[in-house]
């Protein structure tokens, strides 16, 4: 995430602003534990390493929602020229028990500071069964839900959700709870271990089917750009990404490719 961090799993509460092709000059917010990656999924491509796949315990959270918003306010007063605030980092942002309050606090900050930046969140969607998370998502300008695998076996092996999250069917059902759907799909290949690749004709066909069903407002298609948790995974060449993008566009859907 940032080469100045001590290791891949480390991510402070507030980082950047970082220059992102997808989100402009963006202030990053990590609602996980700064020095340890703990997530409800365990994606094999995660740039924060394998870490631990579990829930974060309340005792591991030692900064209150009010303090988080106040720290973001201090940072924004020092450096207000940003395009976005992006919830991401080394955990699942919406799994924070006070996610709703934090979003409300940031909206108040934006009003107070007359900020023109947008608020967005990268999510695996694991908490979309909770009504307060859905309400919080409705307050965001953008929420990007992961959909890398259109086949349950690949979803289980590559995204590795906690057992309470269930399979792909449940994941798609949760995405449908959002009023305005934006999807982020990350694809990769592995010449060394082809069984570790999600860049297969079968998965591409399954993703196209799911996109048709979900009808997202936007799709961002990305590939491996930083060191993945499993080192055998490699980026998909741009020409192949663009070929797939053409197939998505034939469905009448908006897709952008980010290498």
The contact set with ligand SF4 (CB under 6 A) reads 39, 41-43, 46, 48, 90, 92, 124
Secondary structure letter of residue 101 according to DSSP:
H
Q: Smallest gap, in angstroms, from Cβ of residue 70 to ligand SF4?
A: 25
Return the number of the residue (109 or 133) whose C-beta is nearest ligand SF4. Answer: 133
Q: Smallest gap, in angstroms, from Cβ of residue 189 to ligand SF4?
A: 18
Q: How many angstroms separate the CA atoms of 71 and 91, rounded?
A: 19
Return the number of the residue (84 or 91) whose C-beta is nearest ligand SF4. Answer: 91
Q: Which residues contact 25 (CB under 8 A, 6 or more apart)?
A: 17, 18, 19, 81, 82, 83, 84
Return the number of the residue (95 or 219) whose C-beta is nearest ligand SF4. Answer: 95
Q: Smallest gap, in angstroms, from Cβ of residue 174 to ligand SF4?
A: 14
Tell me how many degrees the CA angle 126-163-103 measures, rounded to the nearest 5. 20
Q: Which tokens belong to 194?
A: 């082809």
Q: Determine how many CB atoms are found less than 10 A away from the CB of residue 107.
A: 15
Q: Smallest gap, in angstroms, from Cβ of residue 184 to ligand SF4?
A: 10
> What is the SS3 assignment for 88?
strand
Query: Facing residues of 15 across strands?
Result: 28
Return the number of the residue (49 or 73) whose C-beta is nearest ligand SF4. Answer: 49
């Amino acid at each position: 995430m940032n080469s100045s961090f001590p290791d891949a799993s480390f991510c402070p509460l507030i980082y950047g602003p970082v220059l992102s092709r997808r989100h402009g000059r963006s202030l990053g917010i990590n609602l996980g534990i700064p020095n340890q990656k703990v997530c409800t999924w365990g994606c094999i491509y995660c740039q924060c390493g394998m870490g631990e796949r579990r829930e974060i315990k309340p005792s591991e959270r030692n900064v209150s929602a009010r303090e988080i918003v106040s720290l973001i306010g201090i940072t924004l007063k020092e450096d207000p020229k940003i395009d976005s605030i992006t919830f991401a980092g080394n955990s699942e942002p919406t799994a924070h028990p006070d996610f709703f309050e934090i979003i409300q606090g940031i909206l108040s900050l934006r009003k107070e500071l007359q900020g023109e930046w947008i608020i967005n969140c990268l999510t695996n969607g694991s908490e979309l069964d909770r009504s307060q998370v859905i309400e919080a998502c409705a307050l965001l300008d953008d929420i990007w839900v992961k959909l890398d695998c259109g086949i349950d076996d690949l979803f289980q092996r590559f995204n590795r959700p906690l057992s309470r999250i269930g399979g792909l069917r449940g994941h798609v059902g949760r995405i449908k709870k959002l009023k305005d759907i934006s999807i982020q799909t990350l694809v990769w290949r592995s010449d060394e271990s082809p069984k570790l690749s999600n860049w297969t004709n079968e998965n591409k066909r399954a993703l196209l089917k799911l996109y048709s069903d979900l009808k997202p407002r936007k799709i961002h298609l990305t590939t491996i750009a930083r060191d993945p948790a499993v080192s055998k995974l490699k980026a998909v060449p741009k020409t192949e990404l663009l070929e797939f993008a053409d197939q998505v566009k034939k469905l009448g859907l908006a897709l952008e490719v980010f290498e």
